[in-house]
Structures are given as C-alpha cells and as structure tokens.
Amino acid sequence: MIFENTKAFAQQLDAQDSLHKYRDEFHFPKVNDKQVIYFTGNSLGLQPKRAKAYVDEIMNDWANLAVEGHFYAEKPWWDYQERFSKPLSKIVGAKPAEVTVMNTLTVNLHLLMVSFYQPDAKRFKIICEEKAFPSDQYMLQSQVQFHGFKPEEAIVEINRREGEHTICTEDVIAKINEVGDELALVLIGGVNYYTGQVFNMKAITAAGHQVGAYVGWDLAHAAGNVKLELHDWNVDFAAWCSYKYMNAGPGNASGCFVHEKHHHNADLPRFAGWWGHNKERRFKMEPNFDPVHGADGWQISNLPVLSLAPYLASVEMFDEVGMDALIEKRDQLTAYLEFTLHEIDKEVQGNFEIITPSNPSERACQLSVFLHGEGRSLFDYLMKNGVIVDWREPNVIRLAPVPLYCSFEDMYNFGQILKRGILEK
C-alpha cells in the first residue's frame, strides 16, 4: 500500500480497521486534558476497562464468601488458572495442558531452569544473546554459580557483527554447533527488548536440539505480540510476563509453557509445592508429591487470584480478537509509523536511524530509533505534549504502536509533534 503522511489518510486507515473499536476498551492517561499517544505498551500495557469487574468479582467473593470462595465462588479460586488454558494456549501456539500462569517472569525462568538446566562437568554451557535484558543476565549468572560454575566459562553470548545492531540467525546456529556437546541450554529473549528484533525461534530451537541441548525462551516482549507456535516448534519451555502486550497490570502474574513431551518425565527435577500436586488428591494432605501431568505440575503455591483476575480479562479479549487479526494490524501500523518517521526525517533534515530490522518477519510491534543529534530535551518535549515514549541514553527512543489500542491517526499526530519538537528546539 502507498502511504500518505496526512491526517485524512490516517483517519481513512482507522475507518477501515476492524480492531479500531478496541481502543475504547482501554483507559488512557491524559496530558493537557487530551488522551495520550501511548508507545510504551512494551513496558506496561494500558488497563482494559473490563479488568476492574474481574478484580471486583474476587473482592466481592472474598467479602461475601471468605474461605468458601476457594470452592464456591462463581469462578472458584482453587483452579482459577485453568480458565487460562484454552485462550492462553491459542495466544502462544500451545496445547491447553502446556500452559499455566503463576509467579512472575524471572522467578518462573529460575524455576524452569531447575528442570531444564542440569549441568555436568561436560555439558554445562548456556547460550544467550549479547545484551540480554539485565534480569536474564543476573538470572543466568546466579544459576551457573549455584551449580558451581563460573559465568565467564559457562555463559556464551552471541554477538552482533561489527557495525550491526541485530543478531544474525546464522551466527546463533553456528555458535550452537561450535559449543556442541558442551551446550546444556539455549535461553534467549524471543523479541529483544532493546532492538525489537524477533529471533527465528523455530530454527534456533531445532539447532539446539540437534546438539542435545534444551531450548527455552523468555517471551516477555513476544507474548501477545508475535505469532508463536511453541508446541510445533518443539520448544522445551518458555515464560512471559503479563504486564506488557498482555495488559494485565503492573508486576502481574507470568505465563509459562512446558512442552507436553516433558509432562510425564518423572526424572526431571523440579521445585514442588502443593498446587502442583495431583488435583483430585490435593486436599488429602498426602506426604508424597504426585505432580499434575501438565504445565500446572510446575505450580507451587496457591494462586494469587487478585493478580490473575485482570490477566483473565485481558486473555479473554485476546481470544475475541485473535492473534491473526492483531498481527495483520500490527504490521500495517508499524509500517505506517516507519513511513511517518522517514517522512518527518526528510522534513526536518534529521538523521534518524531505525535499528529494528525493516524486514517484517524479523520485527513485531516495536521500532527502536536513534535520534542522532537530538537529546533528552526532545524526550521531555514529547512527554509534555502527550506522547509517552521510552528513552534510553544516549538518544534511542523505543516506540511500540500496540495494535489493540493505538490508531493510525496517533502515528500521524506523533509525527507532527516530533517535527515541532525538533524544529522548535
């Protein structure tokens, strides 16, 4: 499609957009009494209006039923997580028994590493991407140290090529083959938080398995954003947070995937708790752990239902919309933002550099842009003028035009505000 950088054209795209109505399903912060242009759904998604009723329901059941709510609430608390199985499994391309919700992201990755990182003197290395999200780096360092290894010997990072911003799939695969039978685990962010690069999860997972390693993914920036086929890609495990593209609220419960091929493996170590115990026998208070055969078997504590409630509201909305429709709009919206940036760059004779891949199969919702020659004052200008963006020193802005609630007109208006911010400097 040939784009135009005009308000009328943007409005026409909104008029043709079948998801445009979902914008009204969200609460937007306001600046100067006007709804903001929100580009930070990759950090904290907006609040779906329907989330409050789900939380209120639990508060009311707690007030009216107290302990009886575990079994007699309309949505009983004791197996509340099962309500996620079907809709969440569709979002990540899994079978219903392969997903569960519990804890928070880094905690879940640690717990899954208990099962899927069992190093020995020969096979002890972990491959991850250079500049992984810091929490992942700390997690991996502390895991290898916990097993008595040195991070500098056990952790192998895949580097970018000289002068490039993103990582080549061939380089990941070459490194996997080079580390070979010393490789215990590949654990990478499926979408890089900084560049927005989407990794070829299918090819990398297959390459890891070829040399006998387990392969897991941190899907913080991928869940609800990219098309995932975790079951078919044969991924061993994955975890994601719910507060970014999944709009479940700050710090809320994480989702996990464990491939069904591992569900009956009694030799796989795990840290257990009563919520992972055989559902029918859970309240018989037996001494020996008999795990549920499914991702639910990795549950530990009884569920934080107040935190699951807004997540459930959101997952049901995703189910209504469907990932295919979402992705179709995502690609058009991201492309329109990219076009707008190029247009404004020309108009202001700027020097913008988009470091996110331009190939649609290697990117999703986010564009990360170097605004060469600009400084923090531009970020302040944008924020003051109702554009919520994420700024990383020295001058990278990350823009996530989330398809559920951002509009084409937002992209046009953002371009105009950006232009004024640069010209008025």
Ligand X SMILES: Nc1ccccc1C(=O)C[C@H](N)C(=O)O
Q: Which residues would be at the binding site for ligand X (CB under 6 A)?
A: 42-43, 193, 220
CA distance 414 to 367: 14
With CB under 6 A as the rule, give the number of residues binding ligand PLP. Answer: 12
Q: Quick check: 105 binds ligand PLP (CB under 6 A)?
A: yes
Among positions 12, 104, 169, 416, the unique one binding ligand PLP when judged by CB under 6 A: 104
189 contact choice in ligand X, ligand PLP, none (CB below 5 to 8 Å, kind-dependent):
ligand PLP
Shorter beta-carbon distance to ligand PLP: residue 192 or 334: 192
Q: Is 152 exposed, middle or buried (0-12, 13-18, 19+ CB in 10 A)?
A: exposed
In the block, residue with structure tokens 């400097």? 425
State how far the Cα of 192 lies from the Cα of 365, in Å rounded to an integer: 12
The pair phi, psi for residue 369, each rounded to 5°, is: -130, 130
Single out the residue of 47, 81, 85, 106 in contact with ligand PLP (rule: CB under 6 A).
106
CB of 367 to ligand X, least distance (A): 14
Q: Which of residues 229-268 bind ligand PLP (CB under 6 A)?
A: 241
Q: From ligand PLP, ligand X, none, which one binds at residue 100 (CB under 5 to 8 Å depending on kind)?
A: none
As a 3-state breakdown, the chain gives helix, strand, coil percent values, each rounded to 5, of 45, 15, 40
Question: Distance between CA 69 and CA 60 in Å, rounded?
Answer: 10
Cβ-based nearer residue to ligand X, 242 or 413: 242
Nearest distance, CB of residue 354 and ligand X, angstroms: 18
Does the annotation list 290 as a binding residue? no
Closest CA to 344 of 415, 423, 420: 415
Instruction: For residue 277, give both structure tokens.
Output: 């115990």
Residues forming beta bridges with residue 256, ordered by sequence position: 100, 239
Q: Supply the minimum distance, in Å, between the C-beta of residue 220 and ligand X.
A: 6
The answer to the question of residue 136 lying near ligand PLP (CB under 6 A) is yes
220 binds ligand PLP (CB under 6 A): yes
Sign of CA dihedral 276, 282, 287, 292: negative
Based on the shown chain and the rule CB under 6 A, indicate whether residue 224 belongs to the binding site for ligand PLP.
Answer: no
* HEC profile of 381-423: HHHHCCEECEEECCCEEEEECCCCCCCHHHHHHHHHHHHHHHH
Work out how close the CB of 308 gets to ligand PLP at its nearest, in angstroms, rounded to a whole number: 15
Give every CB contact of residue 63 below 8 A, 6+ residues apart in sequence.
none
Taking the complex as a whole, the smallest distance from the CB of residue 87 to ligand PLP amounts, in Å, to 21
The interface region with ligand PLP, picked from 131-139, 260-268, 279-287, 298-306 by CB under 6 A, is: 131-139
Of 135 and 278, CB closest to ligand PLP: 135
The answer to whether the annotation marks 105 as part of a ligand binding site is: yes
Residue with tokens 């404004």: 344
Min dist CB 421 to ligand X, Å, is 22
Known binding-site positions for pyridoxal 5'-phosphate? 105-106, 133-136, 218, 221, 243, 274, 302
Interface residues with ligand PLP (CB under 6 A)?
104-106, 133, 135-136, 189, 193, 218, 220-221, 241
